[in-house]
Each structure stands twice: as structure tokens, then as C-alpha cells.
Amino acid sequence: MIKVLDKLWERGAAFLGTRYALMGGAMTWVSERNLVSAMSNSGGFGVLAAGAMPPPILREEIRATRKMTEFPFGVNLIILHPQLEELAQVCIDENVSHVVLAGGLPSSTVMDMIKAAGIKIICLAPSLLIARKLIRMGADALVLEGMEAGGHIGPVSTTVLTQEVLPHIQEVPVFIAGGIGRGEAVLSYLEMGAAGCQLGTRLVCAHECQAHPKFKEAFLRANARDAVPSIQLDPRFPVIPVRALENKGTEKFREFQQGVIDRFNKGEISQKEGQMEIEHFWAGALRRAVVDGDVETGSVMAGQSVGLVKMEQSMKDIIEELVGQAVETLEGRGNNTMPTK
């Protein structure tokens, strides 16, 4: 049945240049050289999270990753980064094969710059309308990421978003992300027509992941209901939803928002000042959790699939487990299973 699985994700694997069409989600402070190279060495496609890196650091990380793997890997760039074009130029200079543009709608200037260098562009599409627009702009592949994912999320679940977009997009490979933690789920999306899947939360407790032991322990203790989106108390002060494990930090954030709202209502601060205070509340919180192990007040970003993370494993074992679960499902149906389009 492995041949059936290979046929199902043939397009995605060919696009990525990998054995399996499994992408690593780019997690800031987590998806660095060790985790990314381990993903690629295990047959998947690792993706470096540039996050807030300045260009020299990104260059160093790309070179270090390349020393650890001979297989393809990509780089995730955040659209709102103030040095986006400089980071894109680093990817061009370092002959990166794939760039993932995330966090908004990229400009045609950046898209054209990257494509002119022969780099394949992967973009995140939160709706069918934006998916079509991104393809017109030159995206070579799309990722549909549902709200079950960790970190910044949209309003639509993975299953609904997949049904909305996937049947209508044939021009480019489409990868599915958000809440995926087992091979059966990967198989189901492939059979719906996806080219592959992207996983993030499931990889955090890989042995190769350099996250703080306390960060990993928080994942191992958590269940799906512990991974909740940040709450907005007042529409006058918008909060971009982020899914993370509930802790003292999330409780303090609610209290902090209410304090800002009360001060605004009393005329003590302007709306702009209040918005800035709210936006700065989590500054450095993800690093505190991932690097320093502050899982009480830091931001422990995790998807709802965190409940499926039960032990630390090598990346190789994680990938083999996912593939094995998909193959076992196919075998359970008998020998008449045929890949669907």
C-alpha cells in the first residue's frame, strides 16, 4: 500500500523534492537548523522560520542547515517584517529552493523578485478568493491552514477551509495544515485531492527540537482543550487571535486588556496608546517560553493537535509513524484501494 500512498502525494513530493509530501510548519524560535535538517533528513520538507531574524542571522542559519542536510528545505518569511526584501535577497543569494510567504498578502514586488531568481513560492491562503489571487500573482503552491493550528490563526476550521478551496484549485499543489497529528488525517486530505500536509505542533517534541525541556513538558501534559485562541475584550481594541496553551500569561492578558479599556473610558489614554500597549503585551513572550522555559507567563503557542503529542521521539520515528498509520489504513480497506483525485 505504500505505492498507493506514493501515488496520492506524488505531486506534492515532486514539488518539494522529497520522499514524502510532509512539510514542517515554520515555528519561530523552534524551527531552526536542528529541527529543519532532521525533518529533511527523515524524508520530509523542513522549513526555517525566519521570524524576526535580521538578514545576517538568516544567512547564517541557512548555511548551518545546509551543512546538516543534503536534502531540500525552505525558508518562511513574514510579510510584515521591516526587512522583507533584504531577507528575500538572502534567500536568493543562498540559492534557497523554496520560500514560504506568510502573515498576509505579499506585494507583487517581493513575489517578482523571488520568482525571477527561480525560487518556488508557497503562500498561505485563508479563503478561495485569496487563493485565486495568490495564484494570479505567481504562487507556485498554497497552504490552507485552519484555525486548529498553533500561533496566529484565521477564523475557519481546517476541514471547512479544505472543502471550500481544494475542489476549485488545480493549477498548483495545495498542502493542508492545522490540527494534523496522525497519518489517517494526512491520508484523508490526500484523498480529497491535497498534494500533501504541513505539521508543526506534532514536531515540537522531536528529540532534535532545541526547545526548552519545560516547553516540551507543557506539550506532553496538554490536551486539545488547553490550546485556546487569545480573547479580545473590546472591538475598539482588536486582538489578532493566537492559539497557545492557557497559562498565567493568558489570564494576565485578559486583565491587562480590561485595565487598558478602563483607562481609555476614563479618558486617561488615547485609543492609539491603548492599542499599542495591548500589542506590546506579548513582546518577547514566545522566546521566553521556547528558549527560557517560562511556560507560566510566556506564550506557549500550540495547535489543538497538542493532545496527540504523547512522548518525545526522534524525527525519523515521527515521520515513519505518520506514514505507517496512513499505510495501515489503506491496508485495512483491502487490496482494491485505488488512489482518488
118 in the same domain as 194: yes
Q: Do 273 and 318 belong to one domain?
A: no
Mark whether 69 and 162 lie in a shared domain.
yes
Domain count, the chain: 2
Q: Is residue 267 part of a domain?
A: yes
The 10 Å Cβ neighbour count of residue 228 is 16
d(CA 296, CA 217): 12
| 148 lies in the same domain as 288 | no
Beta bridge partners of 47: 74
In a domain, 31, yes or no: yes
Same-domain status, 281 and 317: no
Whether residue 123 is found in the same domain as residue 163 = yes
Q: What is the largest CA-CA distance in the chain?
A: 71
My answer on whether 299 and 321 are in the same domain is: no
Q: How far apart are CA 38 and CA 195, in angstroms?
A: 22
The answer on 96 and 68 residing in a single domain is: yes
Residue 341 lies in a domain: no
What is the CATH classification number for the domain harbouring 122? 3.20.20.70
Domain membership of residue 257 (yes or no) is: yes
Is there a domain that residue 204 lies in? no
- CA dist., res. 173 & res. 165, Å (int): 12
75 lies in the same domain as 183 = yes
Residue 339 belongs to a domain: no
What's the CA gap between 270 and 250, in Å, rounded?
24
Average confidence score pLDDT of the chain: 95
Q: Is residue 176 part of a domain?
A: yes
Same domain, 133 and 35: yes
pTM flag (> 0.85)? yes
Per-residue pLDDT of 292-341, as tens digits, reads: 999 999 999 999 999 999 999 999 999 999 999 999 999 998 755 455 44
Do 6 and 83 lie in a common domain?
yes
Return the pLDDT at 1: 81
- Do 72 and 141 lie in one domain? The reply is yes
Its domain, for residue 23, covers: 2-199+311-332
Asked whether residue 337 is domain-assigned, the answer is no
145 strand-pairing partners:
177
* Per-residue pLDDT at 336: 52
Per residue in 166-225, pLDDT (tens digit) is: 999 999 999 999 999 999 999 999 999 999 999 999 999 999 999 999 999 999 999 999
